[in-house]
Structure 1
Amino acid sequence: MTSRVYIIGGYQTDFADNWARRGMEIADAMGSTIMRGLAETKLAACDIEVAHIGNFGAELFCNQGHLGGLFAATDPAFAGLPASRHEGACASGSLALLAAGADIEAGRYGLAAVLGVEQMRNVPGEQAAKLIGGPAMWNGHEYQDACYPWVRVFSDVADEYERRYGLQQEHLSRIAQINFENARRNPNAQTRRWTFKANSFSADDVDNPIIEGRTRKQDCGQITDGAAIVFLASEERAHEYARRLGLDRDALPYIKGWGHRTAPITYAAKIKASEGHQYLFPHVRGAITDAFRRAGIAGVEQIDGIETHDCFTTTEYMAIDHFGLTPPGQSWRAIEAGDIEIGGRTPVNPSGGLIGGGHPVGATGVRMALDCFKQVTGAAGEYQVEGANNFATLNIGGSATTTVSLIVGR
């Protein structure tokens, strides 16, 4: 990073909420999240100089666009506030973070609000699957025969791993089990109160049925209503904030490094391009190593934990070897060794991730950054990774079309 971009705090909604059942619209959720975030960080609305919003499907789910205007409507002090909305499928929140960080690095603004938000439970589940199906891939050009397009895509990822390296369903099931277990520790996790049967993580077609392809029920992330906000600050504003609250300014976390890469939109094009490469998605590996390089980090051994995109268990399986926890194709080794569990060598998704924690599409990247902030400041509660100083994110949109990785640390 050319100059430091600090994270000075934020707020996350309860991802178990169903906003429509509570009579809430997306505007209500945005407003309450913004105000709770300000209260949590002891900021005032007049302190905010710019706002960036990550959202994928407000037009599709809520018939609502122009979310910057909804942000500005939250408080009279926001009148005239520059605000913009960013979309990159499931990586929308991370794109908003990158844009806000660039504003601060350029010296345009000193304090930015980054809000990720998505309302998805106001329609039936099958309709929700269709609304996030075609629009995030090349609509009309791929997976036209799939009932659940993204389930099929990541089933194909599993097939490709099996073809190239070998793959056992037991390892994917263990990823799911770990993330659901971690979610029980997280008071904001969507599945924290869920119960499971003895065969819920097996190949039992009753307790863990196949949804499409080879993807089973527990392999899938959740359809979620949720929002998260973080506040990014320049070095000057962060130090001013620390002085005002009597904090140790050197203990404030900042975004140490970032990586952002975009691949051709179709899954088939990505797989064709990766033939002969070590990694299934070389551009994903590139985004991660770009973040390492910008952070001055040699490799994953200097990372204390990871919040990664597990829209399906295969996505986390891919992240494990792409981060370098194992050689390519050998993610199973880290799973069997317990390396990815809380207390393991490099815990992955201590929050519960998308499978356990929930996946409000446009909010996910912001939520990941907030969880990294919590980890490196010792504020993660029961899912705290002991001694965490550096945490990484991996947030992907589509079939790893848009990929963003961040390193947050002190």
Structure 2
Amino acid sequence: MTYILGGWQSDFSDNWARRGIDMADAFSEAIEAGLDATKLDPKHVETGHVGNFVGELFAGQGLLGGFFGLVHPDFDGLPTSRHEAACASGSVAILAATAELEAGRYDLACVLGMEQMRNVSGKQAAANLGAAAWTGHEFGDAEFVWPRAFSDLTEEYDRRYGIDARHLRRIAEINFANGRRNPNAQSRGWAFTPESFTEDDDANPVVEGRMRKMDCGQVTDGASVIFLASPKRAADYAKQRNIPIESLPRITGWGHRSAPISYKRKVQASENQAYVFPQVKRAVDDARARAGIALDSVDAIELHDCFTTTEYMAIEHLGIAAPGEAWKAIEDGSIEAGGRIPVNPSGGLIGCGHPVGATGVRMALDAFKQVTGTAGDYQVDGAKTVQTLNIGGSTTTTVSLVVQAA
């Protein structure tokens, strides 16, 4: 079992290039702020993990584990590694750190997720992110690869079950509304009109196929960091601060599944199955099984809404609604703040922002905030159990975590 001691998230409205900082500067800023937030000493950190997708393409920078040594002299010699799983990179970094702690190699790990994405044009950013698709085999005719891929998913849902675009627009509206309450959300100050969440081609233009502007997660610069501890180290941490160890949240369950990189092959394989992406369902179920809980024990969910259709799919795969019936949970308010099971109280990728490598770590940090009652204006009342769902590519990699208060 792994404990979360705390962490820090950058302001996702920040533009690092405009501020005149690079990835190393942002890395140092995040680690230093995280250490301050948790009142940890650098010399006590025993291992470092970085989640990042395409630092080489956006900034010409790889080997990000080497940035730890720039932060503080005590990190010189620290064992570090970088993890890549497209949009699930941050969660995979968390899994690697927890494995080390559970194996007894180390007792205190630092996990940072980061991505710089706003230093290039929108078209170039889309091309860079297309590296997570099956290059040269799929979506070669698309101007924007991922809007096209999830437009195709919309078409697939329409073919199997029927889909009403108004429900996709409502998902966007809910997540932007949630983001307004999050002081770190990229869109917290954005202004919308009633037409923003309609089929109005001026207020909500088509990006690719059936995906419109408000259906899309945000291109974002951002970093998030968490500190993970073994039970022994967590007990010491609690004793030193004169707090009960029960006040520290734990990662009690995890699920990690991968599928073929081909979107078409995944969809063809599930043709006669209830769920479009069965490996997503398996990851969700694995996490709950390991935590020993069912959906009715989950108080809130942070899920991967890279597009509104992704959330529509996830609502079903998480069990909030039956296959083909996600619209019911949207119409009856189940997923809204104050609803039966609030989804993305942070604003998610649409409302909060999506610095790709940081997203999985940010989700875990938001889960920590929720179960410790420290989420501020977007706190879910009484939250004690939060599940995350982080997806890389066209569900090529899926990671789900369960974070619980003791």
Please list, as runs of the form range in 1=range in 2, the aligned pairs for 1:2-401 lying within 5 A after superposition. Answer: 4-133=1-130, 135-297=131-293, 299-401=294-396
Q: Deviations over 1:254-273 (max 9, x none)?
A: 00100000000010010011
SS in 2 for 1:204: coil
CA RMSD of aligned residues (A): 0.5
**One-letter identity of the residue aligned with 2:280:** V
C-alpha displacement at 1:198, in angstroms? 2.0
C-alpha displacement at 1:329, in angstroms? 1.1
SS in 2 for 1:73: helix
State how far apart, in whole Å, the 2-side matches of 1:151 and 1:339 are: 26
Task: Work out the percentage of aligned pairs sharing the same amino acid.
Answer: 61
SS in 2 for 1:157: helix
SS in 2 for 1:407: strand
Residue pair 2:251, 2:402 contacting (<8 A) in 1 also: yes
Q: Find the partner of 1:404 among 369, 393, 399.
A: 399
Q: Deviations over 1:327-368 (max 9, x none)?
A: 111000000010001100000000000000000000000000
**One-letter identity of the residue aligned with 1:189:** A
State how far apart, in whole Å, the 2-side matches of 1:283 and 1:46 are: 40
State how far apart, in whole Å, the 2-side matches of 1:333 and 1:305 are: 18
State how far apart, in whole Å, the 1-side matches of 2:242 and 2:339 are: 34
TM-score (norm 1): 0.98
C-alpha displacement at 1:71, in angstroms? 1.6
State how far apart, in whole Å, the 1-side matches of 2:208 and 2:402 are: 34
SS in 2 for 1:292: helix
C-alpha displacement at 1:219, in angstroms? 0.2
Pairs aligned (count): 405
SS in 1 for 2:31: helix
Q: Deviations over 1:47-106 (max 9, x none)?
A: 100000000011000001111111222100001000000000000000000000000000
**One-letter identity of the residue aligned with 1:355:** I
C-alpha displacement at 1:137, in angstroms? 1.0
TM-score (norm 2): 0.99
State how far apart, in whole Å, the 2-side matches of 1:315 and 1:101 are: 27
Listed as ranges, the gaps of 5+ residues in structure 1 are: none
SS in 1 for 2:61: coil
C-alpha displacement at 1:197, in angstroms? 1.6
**One-letter identity of the residue aligned with 1:75:** H
SS in 2 for 1:207: coil
SS in 2 for 1:199: helix
State how far apart, in whole Å, the 2-side matches of 1:40 and 1:209 are: 41
State how far apart, in whole Å, the 2-side matches of 1:71 and 1:26 are: 12
SS in 1 for 2:151: helix
**One-letter identity of the residue aligned with 1:20:** A
State how far apart, in whole Å, the 2-side matches of 1:247 and 1:8 are: 12
**One-letter identity of the residue aligned with 1:132:** L
SS in 2 for 1:200: helix
Q: Which stretches of structure 1, 4 residues or longer, exceed 3 Å deviation after superposition?
A: none
SS in 2 for 1:195: coil
Listed as ranges, the gaps of 5+ residues in structure 2 are: none
